[in-house]
A and B are shown apart, each in its own frame.
Chain A
């Protein structure tokens, strides 16, 4: 018979292999049983098993059910399982009350009994589990979930103290693992998200003795569910909360916690590395703007998981996102080293962008941008325009620290050329249009600047504040103060009150330019009230959330007021305002400058010079102080004139468009008798006056 069966199987073209059922040391082929099942004779199949393998009713049914399940006949499996009274079987398995507290003193007489009953339990639980799987395959998800829940309820009743690490039947443990993992999945598929959440938590917070990989899969599944289901999971039950331990209160908190734990499990060697876990954490933490924490997580990962260049680049993104540009740039310098990956366009662009914000790094940034342009091919081809734009920005910034006029104008015109070139690649990039506006304005090509700025405001629908501010500054530079004020008022209308600070400051300065000091004081007062109210209303949260967009702080307002009063020679008021400002920021060059002006106004020359010098000690490149010091020196007689001249030349190297510096330099030349030079300087000063904005153009960025 055995021979005929094996020849049967070889004839069998379809992939059904010969299965065997084994129990009590006896094995039998399933062909006969399967034939009976196919005819629908469950009872006959069952009895032939009971005879052939010496099984009881339940054992036979469980085997049959599994056979049907493995054959893919899930409906048949369900019919077989329905014949067993699983509920009764579960109740039989529960330990009698007297055994509730099993003696913990080593092996006792009941050990053998436990093994036997575990085997029986495994059989019953597997049967219920397979019932759940069958129902799942039939799409009856809620029924499946309920059956699966039965498995877990039963397991909990059998092991009332939690499942111990030892003395558990392997097969029983497997079934429990699978049921624990399947249940939340079923609820999820059934669309019952609340049940899914509690199933996940039950899986993770009860003692199922899960193996590490299984537990990790469940934790990951739950983290993804928490992040993306869009359903708030609600608080953890009080029972799960332990004194002093951290209890997540929000989906994101719980998800991030689970993901962090998963990563730690990996580097403790408990689980295999799963790259998607890091990606999920990256997504979650960058959504919360917590890229510095993400950086710490990336730093904690063992070497060898990521390529070091990838790690450096990701870290650079994290640090740059957290505002730590210096750290980011250092990392990028590593990753762009010639032995690493010097032509990575993303890294080059990020490095160029960071450099473009600092005049002293701009030259380096230009190099990065240039290399990005050369390497923008293939998949990165679309980034060529961005690279050209970065080059333009870096050149523009570099021009600010150039040592000669010739160098400066060369850099400036190259900057413009690059930015204009970038427009050809990205005609719809609003930022680029804005940057062109700033660049033209800084070069005092005010008409072009005006055109680009208007284009920017149109394209963004006026939604970006800096567009309005730049427009007002350009108009002020054109001495069109009333129009500038109209722009500011329009912008104020489009702004919520907390963001009005920079606009109000501009407005006050516009009033001053129009010789309306009382209006300016009024505006400053309003601004002050706003800034103070804002500080109070945000309270403790202020530090984290609002500090970024806080463009005007209280210090600036007090200082602005002090400046204004000193123009009016209201020295008492100046002193009060300076006191207030000093309370907020003790050492500030601009404060000492105003203090010096006050002393000078009161005729206290020594004190004035003292304040000015202190100011320069704090900030050696503070131009307004250089100008006042040189003007004081030039009044001290002809011997001091060369010193005054050199200080003014230095001031003009730092700020070539400072009209006051030109004017005073003219005075020095005049006093020295160099009339032609003096005329040139006065001419420059008067030309600059016609294009002088009320605040520097670069302040808008």
Chain B
């Protein structure tokens, strides 16, 4: 599956290149880039030889737990965000390679990069390396949507639609649909201006969401953990209702998390909630991800109440209730199963 979509993405990406190379040569072009990216990564991590020799090294790079955990722990190093940091440099170069597969590898680590970045801002640590990566993602999204805002028309049931059962004559005169802005227009940024920081990270998260079906579960779990850190609010009191005993799991660590509560403006919270929605209700099911998502939602719900932010209370509250409905739905009837009777007739 992933292979197919990679290939199709690769071809769409090359179709925008003016010279119109045949896709075969562009694929080999990418494979060289992939090899060189793995080569330069190997200068500061150990890469299993099976990965290099594998048929699709970029795919393996994305999914290899060994490499991921090495990169994660390098990223979590206290000075990892500096401008001269090798890993940040590698992320930046790798993303600029324009290979969709390699860009996916960079996106896989976005939760950790963004999470650490926003938590470290008040600590006055060097963060130019993280910023360069985030700006690269922001610039990519800005170009790919030409700076335009993303808007949707909220449907109005009085206007007949494809899904209406009775095709009544529609009131054409009232085509005044409600236009909603999902993501405002983008302007190019060469540096991270502090008041645009949340927006830049938010747009990077929008990019992450648009590729989320290709991203490994581990990355999404990282994201959920950082949502808890960002919320800076313990949500465990909302757990009891779910009828599940708390799993304990490092109370001391939780205390440490509270310290790094960050401002959560809507431009950051909204894409974060979309990602959490995917983690909770997306097509792939994973127990560990489910638990991490529920914890993140609880924390963000508590945080929304602390901010008395109505929109956030509505969004996180609905996710919280959906997580509870989901938890109780294990014995849901499977309507696609045939009725099992003891008398089988023709």
Contact = CB atoms under 8 A, between A and B. Distances in A.
Contacts of A476: none
Given A242-B167, A291-B311, A386-B308, A379 B161 contact: no
A431 B307 contact: yes
Given A23-B345, A257-B155, A236 B122 contact: no
Contacts of A317: 310-311, 313-314
Contacts of B17: none
Q: How large is the interface on B (under 10, 10 to 19, 20 to 34, 35 or more residues)?
A: 35 or more
Contacts of A205: 162-163
Interface stretch (B43-51, B75-83, B257-265): B257-265
A231 B325 CA distance: 24
A21 interface: yes
A346 B313 contact: yes
Contacts of A191: 1, 283-284
Interface in B276-291: 277-278, 280-284
B189 A20 contact: no
A390 interface: yes
B170 interface: yes
B245 interface: no
Contacts of B322: 276, 279-280, 283
Given A21-B344, A219-B163, A287 B234 contact: no
Q: How large is the interface on A (under 10, 10 to 19, 20 to 34, 35 or more residues)?
A: 35 or more
B263 A463 contact: yes
B116 to A, nearest CB: 13
Contacts of B278: 228-230
B281 A250 contact: no
B181 A541 contact: yes
A318 B314 contact: yes
Nearest to B153: A253
Contacts of B7: none
Interface stretch (B23-31, B95-103, B206-214): B206-214
A461 B194 contact: yes
Contacts of A428: 232, 258-259, 261
A19 B342 contact: yes
A230 B178 contact: no
A250 B155 CA distance: 11
Given A264-B157, A288-B154, A496-B189, A461 B343 contact: no
A231 B149 contact: no
Contacts of B178: 290, 293
Given A289-B181, A293-B178, A22 B343 contact: yes
B213 A229 contact: yes
B172 interface: yes
7 contacts: A190-B1, A228-B278, A228-B282, A231-B213, A240-B162, A264-B157, A496-B196
Interface string A274-304: 0110011011011111110110000000000
A545 B195 contact: no
Interface of B: 1, 121-122, 149, 151-157, 159-164, 167, 170, 172, 177-182, 184-185, 187, 189, 193-198, 209-213, 232-234, 237-238, 240, 258-259, 261-263, 266, 270, 273-274, 277-278, 280-284, 302, 305-308, 310-311, 313-315, 317-319, 321-322, 325, 335-338, 340, 342-346
A245 B167 contact: yes
A123 interface: yes
Given A133-B336, A185-B336, A260-B157, A544 B343 contact: no
Given A245-B167, A494-B195, A495-B195, 12 more contacts: A67-B344, A123-B346, A178-B336, A178-B338, A205-B162, A253-B152, A257-B155, A288-B152, A289-B180, A316-B310, A317-B313, A496-B195
Interface string A435-449: 000000000000000
Contacts of B163: 204-205, 219, 257-258, 261
B342 to A, nearest CB: 5
B245 to A, nearest CB: 16
Contacts of A353: 308
Contacts of B262: 460
Contacts of B321: 275, 279
B336 A386 contact: no
A429 interface: yes
A463 B155 contact: no
Given A245-B162, A461-B194, A253 B154 contact: yes
B181 A544 contact: yes
A291 B318 CA distance: 13
B161 A229 contact: no
Most chain A C-beta atoms within 10 Å of own C-beta, residue among B156, B160, B315 = B315
B281 A286 contact: no
Contacts of B306: 382-383, 385-386, 426, 429
Contacts of B259: 428
Contacts of B342: 17-20
A55 B338 CA distance: 22
Nearest to B311: A321
Contacts of A289: 180-181, 266, 311
A429 B170 CA distance: 51
A495 B193 contact: yes
Nearest to B281: A228
* Interface SS of chain A: helix
Contacts of A605: none
Contacts of A328: 310
A260 B210 CA distance: 25
Given A217-B335, A253-B154, A428-B258, A225 B283 contact: yes
Contacts of A390: 308
A110 interface: no
Contacts of A59: 346
Contacts of A458: 122
Contacts of A248: 155, 161-162
Contact of A286 (B161, B305, B314): B314
A321 B340 CA distance: 50
Contacts of A383: 305-306
B346 to A, nearest CB: 4
A43 to B, nearest CB: 19
Interface string A15-53: 001111111100100100000000000000000000001
Question: Which 9 A-B residue pairings sit nearest by Cβ, starting from the closest?
Answer: A461-B121, A230-B212, A288-B180, A23-B346, A321-B310, A246-B161, A462-B194, A282-B318, A182-B336
Nearest to A230: B212
Contacts of A464: 195, 263
Contacts of A350: 308, 310
Contacts of A291: 310-311, 314
Contacts of A260: 155, 157
A354 B225 CA distance: 32
A247 interface: yes
A534 B285 CA distance: 45
A626 B102 CA distance: 68
A256 interface: yes
A555 B160 CA distance: 42
B258 A459 contact: no
A192 interface: yes
A524 interface: no
B210 A232 contact: yes
Contacts of A283: 273, 277, 314-315, 318-319, 322
A217 B315 CA distance: 23
A130 interface: yes
Contacts of B263: 430, 460, 463-464
A496 to B, nearest CB: 5
Interface string A189-209: 111110010000000110000
Nearest to A189: B283
A232 B144 CA distance: 15
Nearest to B320: A279
B145 to A, nearest CB: 12
A20 B201 CA distance: 64
A511 interface: no
Contacts of A460: 122, 262-263
A70 interface: yes
